[in-house]
Amino acid sequence: MDMCNTVKHGCEYQCVNIPGSYYCICPEGQLLQEDSKTCGTCKSANIDLVLLIDGSKSVRPQNFELVKKFVNQVVDSLDVSAHGTRVGLVQYSSRVRTEFPLNMYHTAEDIKAAVMKVDYMEKGTMTGLALKHMLENSFSEAEGARPASRNIPRVGLVFTDGRSQDDISEYAKKAKEAGVTMYAVGVGKAVEDELREIASEPVEKHFYYTTDFSAINTIAENFKLNVCPAESQGEVAMKDPCACENLVEFQQATINSLDQLTQKHILY
């Protein structure tokens, strides 16, 4: 029986028939994701990412546009999809506003278009309040975070240009205790001690600083959020997608699993 033309296989790229069953394959350079149907640049690209961007008055309108471009450069480095990476955006000043939650957009193009439409808030810098909002709201299942039982890494990225006007210690600590991997990116008058307190260990891999807004695109170019299975053991590491030392082993394991599926005629 031609299963690929008989059932709704859902394969993103191509369905392959085997006796009594089928499986999905991906084009060269992409790998099959955990749902066994969709394709991505890296098997381990599944993360829930929430970006917290500083919209305080000191940022200034022209620089806020650069911040939005920075966000979109980060998005370009991700494998965005409903089953892959999900992205949420929060802006904060004297208050906190969810620009869009994790479950709103499922393509990089939709996310980038929404980012460019974000209006600049101005006023103060309540980074502590933003961290609280991220932990209690942005990473809730109601806003699109995958259940903790699925072990999808949760990642928070804070972008700020100055000292916080409230305490950051409590919720920076709580976020990391809750398993959120935190990155801190500072520019201009951002306080290094605060950024280091926000960043996960090892701090050197989760903390970035530049003196000038015009240089943040350089940070974005080197800013790759990716989870490499055996190498990082669930931690999020700064590296090129799929540049894991164990990638060859992982591909071989995938081939072996495929062989087992063929032999057992398991229908996915």
| CA–CA gap between residue 45 and residue 249 (Å, rounded) | 17
Report the distance separating Cα 82 and Cα 216, nearest Å: 28
User: How many whole angstroms separate alpha carbon 205 and alpha carbon 189?
Assistant: 21
| pLDDT tens, per residue, the chain with 268 residues | 788 998 889 999 899 888 878 889 888 767 777 678 888 765 445 899 999 999 999 999 999 999 999 999 889 878 888 888 999 999 999 999 999 999 999 999 999 999 999 999 999 999 999 999 999 999 999 999 999 888 889 999 999 988 999 999 999 999 999 999 999 999 888 788 999 999 999 888 888 888 888 778 777 766 655 333 333 333 333 333 344 443 444 455 555 555 665 555 544 4
- What pLDDT shows up at residue 135? 97
- Nearest Cα neighbor of 155 from 67, 46, 71, 232 is 46
Cβ atoms of 125 and 54 within 8 Å: the answer is yes
pTM over 0.75: no
Closest Cα partner for 151 from 244, 48, 35, 39? 48
The per-residue pLDDT for 30 is 72
Strand partners of residue 14: 25
Yes or no: say if 156 and 182 are a contact pair by the CB < 8 Å rule: yes
Whole-number Å distance between alpha carbons of 146 and 153 = 9
Q: How far apart are CA 115 and CA 101, in angstroms?
A: 12
**How many C-beta neighbours within 10 Å does residue 244 have?**
22
State whether residue 102 is helix, strand or coil: coil
Q: What is the pLDDT of residue 191?
A: 87
* pLDDT score recorded for residue 255: 56
The reported pLDDT for the residue numbered 262 is 57
At CA 144, angle to CA 141 and CA 148, rounded to 5?
45
